[in-house]
Structure 1
Amino acid sequence: MSIKKRLILSNIGMILIPIISFFLLEIALGYLLFVVFQGNPQGAEMKWFIGLRFVAMAFILVVTNGILTYVVSKSIISPLQKLSIAAKKVGNGDLDSPLKSEKRDELGELTNTFDAMRIKLKDAKAAREKYEQNRQELIASISHDLKTPLTSIKGYIKGIQDGVANTPEKLDKYLNIISKTANDMDALIDELFLYSRLDLQQISFHFEKVDLYAFFSDFIDELAFHLEKEQGSATLIANKNEAYIVEADRDKLKRVITNITQNSMKYMDKDNKKIQVQLFSEANEVIVEINDNGSGIKQEDLPFIFESFYRTDASRNSSTGGSGLGLSIVKQIMEKHGGSAWAESMLGEGTSIYLKLKKVI
């Protein structure tokens, strides 16, 4: 019952209850004085009756008013006191004390709204703490990933300065290593820059209709050319009669596929390297499966491979290298497309990365 209805009923009760009570009490007093005790209506008993009526009327009014006021005020003040205590707890940083109300009035609604706000504040606090933790990990990871190649470059430059590279062959080797390491650093900085711009939503997307069959046909031809040098192969499997038209940013989508295939090639441990892309056309979406025959991923690592700087390598100095941002960038770009990305893997057999995109109908 709403507070407004409660107050109206209380006011009505303050009028009706005294009238009914006074009427019943007058009948009872009259019966006792003039029937039971056979009093004289014209004598002193009448004065007693009138006096008792007045006292009874005042008593009934005071008691009725007091009881109704207490009950109504308690139903309002009690929830307000609980809200006040809860507000003080929230103000002191305690966001773990729930406050629920089963009442269907304004205060019950206010109480539940306050508790919903507490939950949102708690979630925001957890998100802020997670963000701060990620920020610290980001700084530590950037520092590590930049310091390692810099140390290598400085070492080789020092070797050249000290005359260690005392033959043209050694000098050429040192310079090639320095050049490769500098290129790796440039790629790392490029990924860091892209990741930060995606995270800050500073990259614009230019969506257009893209035929994924034609898109992957060109991509697979280029990828197969590179894999053939390593006795590998790249194939595309799709039903030519199906429609694979999606709305996507062509350049960003290519970055997604490049990141996935580059990641796959890092962990190829078979002599005959294989990458297979398969397209599935469903009612409202197209699913892309990119499968490799690499070393696979442990099941406990699978839920985290799309997180920033996550590597399945036990050591950060793994020979595979990489920024640890490739799949995180994939996830962010796919989310900007309104799609999603996930992975399945069998250790020792290979990994499949799945991409889901909305189909243009």
Structure 2
Amino acid sequence: MSIKKRLLLSNIGMIVLPIIGFFLVEIIIGYVMFIILKGNPKGSDLNLFLTFRFIAMVLILITTNGLLTYYMSKSIIVPIKQLTQSAKKIREGDLEYRVATSKKDELGELSNTFESMRLSLKQAKADQARYERNRQELIASISHDLSTPLTSIKGYVKGIQDGVANTPEKLERYMDIIYKSTNDMDELIESLFRYSKLDIEQIPLSFEDVDLHSFFTDFIDELNFDLEKEDGRATLRADKDGDYIVKADREQLRRVVSNIVQNSLKYMDKERKHKIEVTLNSKYQQVTIEIKDNGRGIAKEDIPHIFESFYRTDASRNSSTGGSGLGLAIVKKIIEAHGGNTWAGGKPGEGTSIYFTLKKVSD
């Protein structure tokens, strides 16, 4: 019941209850004095009756008003004290003090709103802590991935200076390694730059109508040209009559697909023939794209984390497989900027599937 209704009923009760009490007391006192005790309704007995009646009226007024006031005060003051206590706890940094209630009045609604705010603050605090951990891990990962090629460059330059590369063949090999290491650094820095710009939404997206069937047909043809050197094969599965026109930035979409394919090829078992299969699934408002490989697969515990920056399923977290460690993180950022979702699936030894969605063009 709302506070407004309770106050209205309390005011009515302060009037009605004393009146009822007066009538009952008057009847009871009159019955006792004049019927049971056979008092004289005139003279001193009447004066005594009036005195008792007056005292009873005062007591009834005090009792009814006191009880109703106490009840109303308690129903308002107690929740306010709880809210005050909760506000003090939050001010002190304690976000564990719960103030939710099942009451349906205005103060109950206020308490539940306050509880929602507490939970939001608690979540924000947890998000901030997680962000700080991620920031520290990001700095550590950047330092690690930059120090590896730098150490290699320094070592081979020192070898050249000390005359270790004393033949043209050795010198050429050393220079090739130095060049490859600088390329790795350049790729990492470029990926970091792109990832940071995506993170703060500084890369403008040029949306246009893109026919995904035509887009992936061309992409598969180009990919097959490269895979044929290793006896690999890429295929496209889609209903030719399906509606695959989406709103997308063509350049960024190509980056998404390239990053996924490069990640697949990077972790592909060398003994197997490379197979990449792209599947388009058109639904009412979106198209789901699956890019599946026949690589080593992915462990269940790694699936939720593969879109995190610098996350590698390799527990050693080394850079032996190449790449910046940001490929799938960039994929997620670009797809989210398109209003879509990304997720992964797969099992060890059965390959990996990367999924993402894009919104279809509105009719």
Q: TM-score category by the smaller chain?
A: over 0.9
Runs of 5+ in structure 2 lacking a partner? none
Q: Percent identity?
A: 64
Change (3 A) 1:323 1:9: same
Who is 2:52 aligned against?
52
Q: Is 1:299 paired with 2:300?
A: yes
Who is 2:166 aligned against?
166
Which shows bigger deviation, 180-189 or 229-238? Answer: 229-238
Which shows bigger deviation, 134-143 or 345-354? Answer: 345-354
- What's the offset of the Cα at 1:56? 1.7
- For residues 322 and 99 of structure 2, the distance between their equivalents in structure 1, rounded to whole angstroms, comes to 50
Which shows bigger deviation, 208-217 or 2-11? Answer: 2-11
- Give per-residue Cα distances to partners, 1:60-85, cap 9 Å, x unaligned: 11112111111111111111122222
Give the total of aligned pairs.
361
Runs of 5+ in structure 1 lacking a partner? none
Change (3 A) 1:65 1:281: closer
2:71 alignment partner, SS class? helix
1:196-207 matches, within 5 Å, as: 196-207=196-207
1:1-361 matches, within 5 Å, as: 1-269=1-269, 270-360=271-361, 361=363
Give the AA of the match of 2:315.
A
CA RMSD of aligned residues (A): 1.7
Give the AA of the match of 1:221.
D
C-alpha contact (below 8 Å) 1:18/1:64 kept by paired residues:
yes
Give the AA of the match of 2:185.
M
C-alpha contact (below 8 Å) 1:231/1:271 kept by paired residues:
no
Change (3 A) 1:64 1:241: closer
- What's the offset of the Cα at 1:147? 1.0
TM-score (norm 2): 0.94
- For residues 205 and 280 of structure 1, the distance between their equivalents in structure 2, rounded to whole angstroms, comes to 24
1:229 alignment partner, SS class? helix
2:135 alignment partner, SS class? helix
Which shows bigger deviation, 258-267 or 7-16? Answer: 7-16
- What's the offset of the Cα at 1:271? 4.7
- For residues 32 and 314 of structure 1, the distance between their equivalents in structure 2, rounded to whole angstroms, comes to 94
Which shows bigger deviation, 58-67 or 251-260? Answer: 58-67
Change (3 A) 1:34 1:215: same
2:214 alignment partner, SS class? helix
- For residues 29 and 320 of structure 1, the distance between their equivalents in structure 2, rounded to whole angstroms, comes to 101
- Give per-residue Cα distances to partners, 1:254-303, cap 9 Å, x unaligned: 11001011111111223522222232333332222222222222222222
Give the AA of the match of 2:198.
L
1:223 alignment partner, SS class? helix
C-alpha contact (below 8 Å) 2:210/2:246 kept by paired residues:
yes
1:298 alignment partner, SS class? coil
Following superposition, which runs of at least 4 residues in structure 1 exceed 4 angstroms of deviation? none
- For residues 68 and 263 of structure 1, the distance between their equivalents in structure 2, rounded to whole angstroms, comes to 73
- What's the offset of the Cα at 1:130? 0.6
- Give per-residue Cα distances to partners, 1:105-156, cap 9 Å, x unaligned: 1111111111111111111111111111101101110111111111111111
C-alpha contact (below 8 Å) 2:187/2:323 kept by paired residues:
no
C-alpha contact (below 8 Å) 2:145/2:319 kept by paired residues:
no
TM-score (norm 1): 0.94
- For residues 348 and 322 of structure 2, the distance between their equivalents in structure 1, rounded to whole angstroms, comes to 20
2:230 alignment partner, SS class? coil
